[in-house]
Amino acid sequence: MISEASIIDILNQQRDFFQTGETQSLSFRISQLKLLQQLIKENETAICQALKADLNKPEFEACFSEILLVFKELEFCIKNLKNWIKPQKTRILWQLLPASTKIYPEPLGVVLIIGTWNYPFQLVIAPLIGAIAAGNCTIIKPSEIAPNTSSLIAKLISKYFQPEYIKVIEGGVETSQKLLAEKFDHIFFTGGTAVAKIVMAAAAKHLTPVTLELGGKNPCIVDTDIHVQHTARRITWGKFFNNGQTCLAPDYLLVNSKIKEKLLAEIKKCIQEFYSDNPAISSDYGRIINQKQFDRITNLLNSSKIIFGGETNREQLYIAPTLVENISFAEPIMQEEIFGPILSIIEYTDISEAIALINSQPKPLALYLFSHNKNLQQRVLQTTSSGAVCLNETVMHIGVSSLPFGGVGDSGIGSYHGKFSFDTFSHYKSVLSNPFWLDLKWRYAPYTKGKLSFLKRMLGYY
């Protein structure tokens, strides 16, 4: 395990390199983003293999959610960075003329990115794009729970980047805590709410700003006014992609009782269509990350009424796509984020019940609503709060670089992707510049009679 002295040494090297100003030029930033693109292109197979070893991730899912998503983010960033880094002129009160004002984005310095294990490549590389774009030096701590991906990231980053610019420090909780004891200029953390509190407390000691990308229980409301087959497909896909280990996966369905049976029949059909009658032998169905998570998820099944699936195999870390119903919020499965291939189903008769239920819980990372009804869409948008909403869709908003990705309340602080990543790792510095040719005396002492009333008149106070 890395020593405290080595961490301080790396940090000092990065601080010195940052001070040279080399990370700040547009050409340097673009060249490093292109290098990251090259790293991904040249090592696509190795990345997919590591994800297969850690999560039995099907190649399609690995490529779609970890490689292509990051690749599109890189393209978007490279295309737009020139505009993002330009100082922006702002309007100024005429009373302050001839001064002028601008906003300069500047890098923060040395930043720390701590990742988690469910999308172990994407969740550290996507924020890294923002850190590079904004002109920072970066230390990355990937998740030890996905060891193959963690060691591959360490190997590749050290091959393509200088350690005084980007460095990966591998390790578990203790390493993470050693890193958190040091002062960074920003900490970007992805993981669970409990650890986020530890991260934020450690950051507070140094007044370090944090971005916290967390999870929660994402509700999925299904109204009667829907295309049943498309609804079922989109829910099944969003839920069982990566074996349900997705922070954005629908956690529980709130389904109108009038459509429940029809929808459930269609979801069962979709599961069979996607993963065959025996998902255990489907090459398109992933696995739970480890036995600890397997035990946690299967324990949740103990108090649930299984209506579909439910087969498990601890040795193979297999949990079948499972539907459970008649769940009340008092049961364990509704007390924590499921984060596995179980979809719980609650029915409602009136939408106000569903909204009240959602609002009685911590604010989720995403909320999904399936309904053609525009009034209902507006009502749900206006009366609930969540990191994001998809109407008649699940999860797909993560792939849109023009949308901020992040939570609210218990599901997180701050956001990233596209320009929002650049903003997260930048400080927007206000700059006022006044020429010498005019210097009115109204603001200077002595505050002789009439100066105050002149000021009030000038600022429109009277």
**Where do contacts with ligand NAD occur on this chain (CB under 6 A)?**
114-116, 118, 123, 141, 143-144, 172-173, 176-177, 180, 190-192, 195, 198, 213-215, 247, 337, 339, 365, 407, 412
| DSSP E strand stretches across 314-452 | 318-319, 322-325, 342-348, 366-370, 388-391, 412-413, 426-433
254-280 in b/e form (b: 16+ CB < 10 A) is bbbeebbebbbebbbebbeebbeeebe
CB 379 within 8 A of CB 351: yes
Which one is catalytic: 247, 270, 325, 390? 247
Give first-to-last CA distance, the chain, whole Å. 68
Q: Is 247 a catalytic residue?
A: yes
The residue among 30 and 413 lying less far from ligand NAD, judged by its C-beta, is 413
Phi-psi group of 443: left, alpha or beta (phi > 0 → left; psi -120 to 50 → alpha; rest → beta): alpha
Residue type, position 72, single letter = K
Query: Please, what is the minimum distance in Å from the beta carbon of residue 412 to ligand NAD?
Result: 6
Query: Please, what is the minimum distance in Å from the beta carbon of residue 224 to ligand NAD?
Result: 30
Residue with the two structure tokens 């499921």:
338
DSSP letter assigned to residue 136 = -
Query: Please, what is the minimum distance in Å from the beta carbon of residue 375 to ligand NAD?
Result: 30
The residue among 11 and 365 lying less far from ligand NAD, judged by its C-beta, is 365
Structure tokens of 67? 């490689």
Query: Please, what is the minimum distance in Å from the beta carbon of residue 215 to ligand NAD?
Result: 2
Query: Please, what is the minimum distance in Å from the beta carbon of residue 336 to ligand NAD?
Result: 9
The residue among 231 and 411 lying less far from ligand NAD, judged by its C-beta, is 411
Segment 437-443 long-range contacts (CB within 8 Å, at least 24 positions apart): 437/98, 438/98
Nearest residue relative to ligand NAD (C-beta): 215
The Cβ-side half-sphere exposure at 157, using a 13 Å CA radius, reads 25
Query: Please, what is the minimum distance in Å from the beta carbon of residue 398 to ligand NAD?
Result: 8
Q: What is d(CA 11, CA 16) in angstroms, rounded to the nearest whole number?
A: 9
The residue among 43 and 116 lying less far from ligand NAD, judged by its C-beta, is 116
Which one is catalytic: 61, 73, 164, 213? 213
Q: What is d(CA 365, CA 256) in angstroms, rounded to the nearest whole number?
A: 22
The residue among 337 and 347 lying less far from ligand NAD, judged by its C-beta, is 337
Residue with the two structure tokens 């963690």:
150
The residue among 176 and 371 lying less far from ligand NAD, judged by its C-beta, is 176
Q: What is d(CA 145, CA 110) in angstroms, rounded to the nearest whole number?
A: 25
The residue among 214 and 263 lying less far from ligand NAD, judged by its C-beta, is 214
Least Cα distance to 378 among 403, 348, 401, 355 occurs for 355
Structure tokens of 449? 């009679």
Query: Please, what is the minimum distance in Å from the beta carbon of residue 458 to ligand NAD?
Result: 49
**Peptide bond before residue 446 is cis, with ω within 30 degrees of 0:** yes
Any idea which residues carry the catalytic annotation?
Answer: 213, 247
